[in-house]
Structure formats: structure tokens, C-alpha cells
Amino acid sequence: MGPEMNPFVSSHLKAMIEDIRLLEAFVTQPLGLFSDIKMLRESLTFPEAADLSRDELRERRTAYAALTDDAQALALDAIASLGKSIDILEAVRDDADVARLRDGWFSQGRRVLVRASAQVAGEIRAKLTAGIRGIYVIVDPEAMKGRDVVEVAGATLKGGASVLQLRDKSRDKGEVLPVARELRSLCDEHGALFIFNDDADLAVACGAHGLHVGQTDLPIGEARRVLAPNQIVGKSNSGIEEAMASQSDGADYLAVGAVYSTTTMGKSGRTAVGPEMISKVKELAQQPVVAIGGINETNIVDVVRAGADCVCVVSAITYADDPEAATSRLAEAIQNV
């Protein structure tokens, strides 16, 4: 940037160019998107945006790689940073250097960023969705036998739960938030996913890995407008028709049930669909299938054999005298199938 350039404009242009270079290093697929990101930089008529030599490019990529163990998360942050720089520079008036970008560059940049965000966030969600396996436990203050939610959650994570969902319909959001943040930290310690039930705003506020919604809750498309692009969404379904609709709407995983009769989680009025329904949905599903409802040590093997990728258990764990041991037994039963 020349010495005569406004320092505020210069700093944002430099940051914008560096963000684009980082995206070129980390967002290499699909090829068309990579080419469009590269063209964004090449169309900037500033010396700092010029192509690098092979050695310079190698050094730059090595430096980027040393910044993080999670290239996709850093790329997503760079996309957000680049979008903010575009907004700021477009708002600058009467600047000759910015004027050179007004003829379509800003609008093209935004279009490329939308695609890049969708690509990177989709890759992150796919990694998270791959973690929808094993035992999925819902903790709810109303299903704890009077015990502390965090205490029971910690026990079930020690026992081998791979997914934990917080469901709390009785307390105000301000009371639930600190508990949700504590549970997210616990899940991080144990390498488990943390899902928040129903409230997309709280899922964002506590940094949950994802949100779970029911058939009458916020639609998946509207939930995604609230959620961060890298947060997953799962949805409850009672059968094939609902599951396929959820799949079409973009659910990252499909919960199906009640598999067996249950009085937990408000499912007492639902007709049990049986493990046969798990098999039917699994045949058509592209996402992981989570079986839920009335599952315990006596029937979990049948559910897994029916094709469930993940088994959601509530009362068999949260009502158990020893939630850690109960979780461990169920996890072992899955592993032995």
C-alpha cells in the first residue's frame, strides 16, 4: 500500500488480502470455489495482492498451518473477518483506493464468501455429525431423581456417553445458560458432543455443538438463521414420512421414536414404532439415525442390530442409582453387537 493511502483503509485492505491468501491455502475444494477465491485476490490492483513465487507461497502456507490444529475453524473465522472488512470498506466514502473496488468487486466478494462459508461450515458439521455414535444421553432437571444435572452429566460422560443433550423446560434462560456452558466444558473434556434442546439462541450463547428440535419447534431453516454456520441440527421424527421431510429440510441427524413405550420426555402418548422403524428409516437416510424411547439394557442390542447409529437413553441412565455404571454397561452392549 502506498504511503499516501489513508492508514485506516490501508490496514483493512492488507487484512483483506491476507484473509484471502489464507482461504486459498485452506479452501481448496471444490476447485471452482478455490478458483473464485484466487480470482478475488488477483482482481485487486494492489502490489500486496500480487501472486507469490513458489518459495514465498510455500513459506506462507507453512506459516498458516502453524497457526492452528483446526484449519477449517480458522478458515471460517477468516471468512467472517473478510466479510467485515468488505462491509467497512464499502462504507468508506470519497476514497480513491476504495473507489477502485466499487465496480462489482464487493458484490462478487460477498457471493464468493457465501459459498466459501457454506463449504467450510458443511465440512465442520460433517465432522461433528460423524460423532453422533454410541450412547446419547438427555439430561433434564425433571428426570434426575432430585440430583444435580451437572453431577449426573459428568457421571454419564465418565461412563462413556458420546453425546449429551440438555433439555430444560422449567427454568428461565438466564438460569439455564451457566449450566449449559458448564456442560459444554464437560463435553469438551471428554471428547463428547453437546447439544442444546429447542432454544437456538441459547445454543449459540453457550457454544453448543448443535441444536435439537422437535416437530413443532423452530423449523430447521429458521434455526440455521440463528445458529452459527458450524452448529449441527437434529430433529425428532416418529416415522418415515417425518424423517424424510427432516432430511429434505437439512437435518444433520434424524432421531426416531419412541421405539418402545415410555413415559419419559413427554412421549407417554406416542405409539411405539418398534425397532423395525429404525431399519426402515436407516435404509433411506443419508444422515445418522438416533433411536430414542424406552431403550434400556434389555433391548438396546435389538435397536443397534436394527441399524441405529446412535442410541438415546434417558431414564435408564438418569434414574439409575449409578449413572456412570449404567452408561458404561449400555456402551459396552453396543460395542459387543
107-131 confidence digits (pLDDT tens): 999 999 999 999 999 999 999 999 9
- pTM value is 0.91
118 and 136 assigned to the same domain: no
- Cα–Cα distance measured from residue 49 to residue 45, given in angstroms and rounded to the nearest whole number: 7
Residue 31 has phi, psi (to 5 degrees) of: -60, -35
Does some domain include residue 94? yes
115 and 135 assigned to the same domain: no
Does some domain include residue 2? no
94 and 117 assigned to the same domain: yes
Residue 165 has phi, psi (to 5 degrees) of: -120, 135
Cα 86 off chain centre by: 26
In this prediction, residue 271 carries a pLDDT of 86
* H or E element at residue 312: strand 310-313
In this prediction, residue 140 carries a pLDDT of 96
For residues 134 and 147, is the Cβ–Cβ distance under 8 A? no
Name the domain boundary from 126, 145, 165.
Answer: 126
pLDDT band at 22 (very low <50, low <70, confident <90, very high): very high
102 and 44 assigned to the same domain: yes
Task: Using the predicted structure, report yes or no on whether residue 56 has a pLDDT greater than 90.
Answer: yes
- CATH number of the domain enclosing 55: 1.20.1260
234-239 long-range Cβ contacts below 8 angstroms, 24+ apart: 234/132, 234/195, 234/210, 234/290, 236/212, 236/292, 237/281, 238/270, 238/273, 239/273, 239/277, 239/281
- CATH number of the domain enclosing 199: 3.20.20.70
Q: Cα dihedral sign for 77, 122, 27, 184?
A: positive
Show the CA angle centred on residue 180, arms to residues 179 and 181, nearest 5°: 90
In this prediction, residue 275 carries a pLDDT of 98
107 and 181 assigned to the same domain: no
Tens of pLDDT, residues 172-216: 999 999 999 999 999 999 999 999 999 999 999 999 999 999 999
Determine which of 8-12, 60-64, 143-147, 269-273 has the lowest per-residue pLDDT on average.
269-273
> In the chain, how many domains are there?
2
In this prediction, residue 3 carries a pLDDT of 62
The residue type found at 315 is S
| pLDDT over 90 percentage in the chain | 88
> 253: which strand partners?
234
32 and 119 assigned to the same domain: yes
- What is the rounded average pLDDT of the residues 227-241? 97
Tens of pLDDT, residues 272-328: 999 999 999 999 999 999 999 999 999 999 999 999 999 999 999 999 999 999 999
Task: Using the predicted structure, report yes or no on whether residue 2 has a pLDDT greater than 80.
Answer: no
227 and 310 assigned to the same domain: yes
> 291: which strand partners?
256, 311
In this prediction, residue 269 carries a pLDDT of 61
54 and 115 assigned to the same domain: yes
DSSP 216-273: TSS-HHHHHHHS-TT-EEEEEESSHHHHHHHHHHT-SEEEE--SS---GGG-TTSPP-
